[in-house]
A and B are shown apart, each in its own frame.
Chain A
Amino acid sequence: MERSVSEESHSATDAMFLASPRLLYWLLPCIILLSVAGTLIPQGEEPSWYIGRFGSWAGMLTLCRLSDIYHSGLFTFLLGLLGLNLALCTWQRQVHVRLRPDVLLTHIAILTVLAGGIITGIAGRRGSLPLNIGETKDAAEGKPGFALPFSIKLEDFRIEHYGSGRHRLTVTDRKAGWSETAEVQPNTKTVLHNSSVHIAVLDYYPDFVMDKSGPATRSQMPNNPTLRLEITDAQGTENQWAFARFPGMHMGQTSRYALAYELAAGQVRQFRSEVAIVEDGWISARRAIEVNKPLRWRGYTIYQAGYDPENPAYSSLLVSHDPGVPVVYAGFLLLTTGLIWTFLRSLWRRP
């Protein structure tokens, strides 16, 4: 096949431009602009959400992939071009002028990170494992879901709090008409209304239930906070129940005092899922998974991802299998080393 001189000179110019830092100065603003757009337009929502938010513009947004910019063809193309530009630029300079080793290392590091990102995009898998206590699953849900080479059984799930919370009790005297709010504590007495009323918290049931043996608590989770109170005034002493979730329940209408009870739970300290790894029908290991403390097993990493405030037995785990991570981390190490080297070299350089 014959090629004309002008074709060859064009391809040489194209190759030079691809290997030139000038292309970098075109690519960076384009990538920055698209990145900014991605932070201004909420990403990855359902089409109906965009219609509700942007009306007639929603179709245009979806068509231009502005609703999923970072996975769009244009953004991927720009990142690919950036990688190609960096590779060619590095190669050309290395051949002609010999890049300084620190600069070469830094450029190779960025290419390594990009390569790791490609591996993540192609071979990485992420899915969720929504589990109730006692439930076992051997496949992660997602788009698409995937099977695991082992099963996971959720044996227990706990939400740990800082402190036991603050119990606020509002007492209304139906007869006299006064109302007063106080913070009460289990096994202590609180004085109300100029010392005319004394309230003692006899028992606190975080997760109240009435079983055969009487009042009890199912767990230490504040799922159904209930107080058993003793109210003493000039007329005598009476016992009452106060339910945070069911304000009117068991409240004696004949009682002089109406009660409203609130429990402000302490801030969450940790979410903890106790799981068992099941392989070939046998439990291979028992582990705890917490936020920032994932479980690693046979190339898969399992994270604590979510919970349901209405269902204390539910825990949502996230499973990830990403062969790109070691490559990206290698790139990170090289990049940091290369840049520190470059900076130290600039310090030693004579002004």
Chain B
Amino acid sequence: MNTTSLNLAFVCYLASLISYAAAFLFARPRLRQVGHAALAAAWLLQTTFLAQRWHASGHAPLANQFESLVCMSWGITGLCAAFWRLAAGKWLGPAISGLSLAILAVCSLLDSSIAPLVPALQSNWLLLHVSVIMLAYAALALSLLASAVYLAAYGGRTSYQAAVSLDRFNERAMGLGYVLLTAGIVLGAVWANEAWGSYWSWDPKETWSLITWMVYTAAIHLRRTHRWQGRRMAWFSVAGFAVVLFTYFGVNYLMSSMHSYAGSK
């Protein structure tokens, strides 16, 4: 399939990152506007690519790791618009550009060919379950970005307004990611009962998604009941996303699972 729009999205993310860097290095605030425009263009191009792929394959572009990664990157950029006002600092645009560039670079290493759906994936639950899980990962990636910026720029100095804003951003993104992750696991369980005859089989992918859910459950309770915030919560968010990465990549590559069709293909 033609990947021109995805390649152009990559170029736009790169242009966006360069613009943000130039705005910072040469103290030209107007270049930040160029960065925002390039970011928006990249998202529109990714939307076009996903729509083309959906049309060409006849199913939602969520059937393998390449498609789900492109979707996740699309979700990260899309969600950042919703979180834009919450990010008081100037970190969100460059962070999103950098992360999306990295994700699309990983995508270029994966098989992008369109294969017909195996029987287990021929269901509308594919769209519901995988899209919600990918949006959850996108929201949790935003939480990770806010935490990384917090630790890099404001670690330990929570009195700054920007640090408080980053912590609040982290809380919101993690909260949204947790709701979506729960909904995604629930949808997956219902689909598993429909396809495999059991809503829970302790399959490695299921188990690791439950582990991810428990880690974020602990994080949310620690914030609400023990007032964990700032630096400690930022580290928790980084650790939580490491578990997300293992659930998403590690299980596919290192473990034998009923979800193996979603692997490296």
Contact = CB atoms under 8 A, between A and B. Distances in A.
Interface of A: 21, 24-25, 28, 31-32, 35-36, 38-39, 42-43, 70, 117, 126, 162, 267-271, 290-292, 294, 301, 303, 305, 318, 320, 322, 325, 328-329, 332, 335-336, 339-340, 342-343, 346-347, 351
Nearest to A303: B197
A38 B196 contact: no
B194 A35 contact: no
Given A292-B119, A339-B182, A39 B208 contact: yes
Contact of B175 (A24, A325, A329, A346): A346
Contact of B211 (A35, A267, A291): A35
Given A70-B202, A351-B168, A336 B182 contact: yes
A290 B196 CA distance: 11
Contacts of A162: 116
A24 B176 CA distance: 22
Interface of B: 115-116, 118-120, 122-123, 125, 168, 171-172, 175-176, 178-179, 182-183, 186, 189-190, 193-200, 202, 204, 207-208, 210-211, 214-215, 217-218, 221-222, 225-226, 251, 255-256
Task: Name the 3 nearest CB pairs between A and B, nearest first.
Answer: A291-B119, A39-B204, A292-B123
A36 B197 contact: no
A292 B193 CA distance: 9
Contacts of A346: 171-172, 175
A132 B93 CA distance: 61
B122 A332 contact: no
Given A270-B119, A303-B195, A351-B168, 12 more contacts: A21-B221, A21-B225, A39-B251, A117-B200, A267-B115, A268-B118, A268-B119, A292-B195, A325-B199, A336-B183, A343-B178, A346-B172
Contact of A126 (B122, B186, B198): B198
A339 B200 contact: no
A292 B116 CA distance: 16
Contacts of B190: 329, 332
Contacts of B202: 38, 43, 70
Contact of B197 (A117, A271, A301): A301
Contacts of A336: 179, 182-183, 186
B197 A35 contact: no
A291 B116 CA distance: 15
Given A21-B221, A335-B182, A294 B194 contact: yes
Contacts of B176: 343
A38 B200 CA distance: 14
A343 B179 contact: yes
B125 to A, nearest CB: 8
B122 A291 contact: yes
B122 A292 contact: yes
Given A32-B214, A162-B116, A340 B179 contact: yes
Nearest to A124: B198
A14 to B, nearest CB: 20
A347 B168 CA distance: 11
A270 B195 CA distance: 13
Contacts of A292: 119-120, 122-123, 125, 194-195
Contact of A25 (B120, B179, B183, B218): B218
A340 B132 CA distance: 14
Contacts of B198: 126, 320, 322
A269 B189 CA distance: 23
B132 to A, nearest CB: 10
B120 A291 contact: yes
A211 B198 CA distance: 46
A339 B194 contact: no
A305 to B, nearest CB: 7
Contact of A28 (B195, B196, B218): B218
